Amino acid sequence: MHRKFKWIALGSSVMLLTGCLNRLDQEVVETTNPTTTTSGVQTTRNQLSDEFYRAVIEDGRYQLASSASADRHVTSSSNMRAFEEGLLQITKNVFPTDQYFLREGQIINAETLTQWVSRESTDNPDGLNPQQETKPEREQESQAEESTSEPENPEEQSESTQEGEENNQVITDVDSTPIYLNQILEKDIVIETEDGYELAGVAIGLSMNSVYSYTDNNGNVYEQEISQGELRERGKSYANIIIGRLRNDERLRSVPIIVGIFQQAKDEEVVGGTYVLDGISREGNAVSDWTELNNRRVLLPTPEGSDQAVFFTEFRNQVNDFFPNLNGISAEASYIDNNLSTLNIEIITQFYQITEIAALTQHVVDVGQNTLPQDVLIEIRIISSEGTEGFIGRDAGQKEFTTHVFRR
C-alpha cells in the first residue's frame, strides 16, 4: 500500500533515550508543519533476518544514497564492508530491526560530502580536514625555532644548521599536515505510523585515518601515524560540527542522530577497521553521550596459543585431511566487547566439479558442527577460480548449518 512520506522531528517529550544507546520507544508524534512528499512510499514485505532492516521503496524504486557517487575515499573493500556493517550494528542497538525500516542516506548529498571530507580552504570553508600549511608559513616557523635554540658553540651551530636544512627540505617539499577524516556514511531510519512513513533517526559513520600517507616532489612516500587519542578527539569534534550543520535543517531539529567513529585499517591489512566510539545526539548540536568500544577484527590463523588458534587450527586440519589439495583456508573473526560475534571463513579449492564441491561442502558441515564455536554467526564460502562454488551458514544460536552448492 502506498503512503505519503513525512519528515518528523521527534521531541524529547515523546521519545526519551535513556543510557547512551538504549532502544527507542515506538511512539512518535507529528510536527506542526512536517515536510511531505507526494510520491508513494512502501517497504519490502519480507525480512531476511533480524540482522537486516526491511527497505524503504519510493515510487517503486530503491533509493540509492544521495552521496553514493562520492564514496571513494575508504581505501579497501574490507574497510568499506567493516565501515558499513559496524554502523548498522550500532544503529540496531538503538533502532530495532523489527520496528524500523532503513533508507539509504538522502540528507547529505555528494557535493556536500565531498566538501566536508576535503581540506578547509578559502574556496572550501566547510572542509573539516585541516588546511595545508603554505611554504612561507613553514619557513617562518622553522626560522623562529632556529632563533630560539641557537647554540653557543660554532661547531655545534654549524651541525645544527646543516641538520635544520635537511629537515626543512623534507618539511617544505611534502604536505605533512594529516588528513584525518576520509569518509562520511549516512543511513536514515524510518518508522511507519498511521499517517505514513516518517523519519525516526539518522545514523552517521565517520571513517578516520590511522595512518596518513603523503608523497614529496621527488616521489618519496612518507607515512605519519595518527595516535589513538588524536583520532578519537578529532572524531568527536567532527561529529559535533556535522550535527550542528544537520540541525540547521528544521526537519532534523529534534531527530536523534547516532554517530560512530571508525578507525580505518592500514591499506596492507587484510581485515577491515573497527569502530572505536559511538554516541547519540538526542537534540541540540553535540553528542552528549560517548561510549568507548572494545571491538576488533582478527585474521585467522593466528599465532599458536590463542583461543582462536585452537578451534580454527582443528577445523582447518580436519578439512585439509579430507581434501589435501585445497589451496588455503583462512578466516576473519570479529569481536565485540572481547566476545567472538562473527566468523567468516574462505576455503580456496582447485576443484570445480559439482560432485567434488558437494562432497567438500558436506564434510565442512560435519567438521564445523564439531569444532566451530556456538552462539556465533558463521559464514563459510568455498571458492574456486570460477567464483563461489558453495556456501555454508549458521546464525548465532542455531544448531544446524544451511548449505547451497551453486550450479553453473
- Per residue in 233-266, pLDDT (tens digit) is 999 999 999 999 999 998 899 999 999 999 999 8
d(CA 25, CA 191): 11
Q: What confidence score (pLDDT) does residue 397 get?
A: 87
Measured CA to CA in angstroms, residue 63 lies from 105, 154, 258, 333 at distances of 9, 70, 21, 32
pLDDT tens across 257-268, in order?
A: 999 999 999 888
Q: Is residue 307 exposed (0-12), middle (13-18) or buried (19+ Cβ within 10 Å)? A: exposed
74 vs 126, more confident = 126
- What mean pLDDT comes out for the span 207-224? 90
* CB-CB contact of 348 with 328 (8 Å): yes
Q: Does domain 40-120+169-293 have CATH number 3.10.570.10?
A: yes
Class for domain 294-407, per CATH?
Answer: alpha beta
Check if 40-120+169-293 and 294-407 are the same fold. no
Q: What confidence score (pLDDT) does residue 98 get?
A: 94
The three cell numbers of residue 91 are 544503529
pLDDT tens across 347-381, in order?
A: 999 877 899 999 999 999 999 999 999 899 999 99
The three cell numbers of residue 62 are 530503491
pLDDT tens across 145-204, in order?
A: 555 545 455 454 444 444 444 333 333 345 578 999 999 999 999 999 888 899 999 999
Q: What mean pLDDT value characterizes the chain?
A: 81
pLDDT tens across 314-338, in order?
A: 999 999 998 877 999 999 999 998 8
Q: Where are the domains of the chain?
A: 40-120+169-293, 294-407
pTM of structure = 0.78
d(CA 99, CA 96): 6
End-to-end CA distance of the chain: 38
- What is the CB-side half-sphere exposure of residue 150 using CA atoms within 13 A? 5
The confidence band for 388, taking pLDDT boundaries of 50, 70 and 90, is: very high
Lowest mean per-residue pLDDT among 129-138, 279-288, 384-393: 129-138
* Residue 253, helix vs strand vs coil: coil
Measured CA to CA in angstroms, residue 126 lies from 119, 219, 229, 324 at distances of 8, 30, 24, 58
Furthest CA-CA distance within the chain: 86
Count CB atoms within 10 A of the CB of residue 325: 8
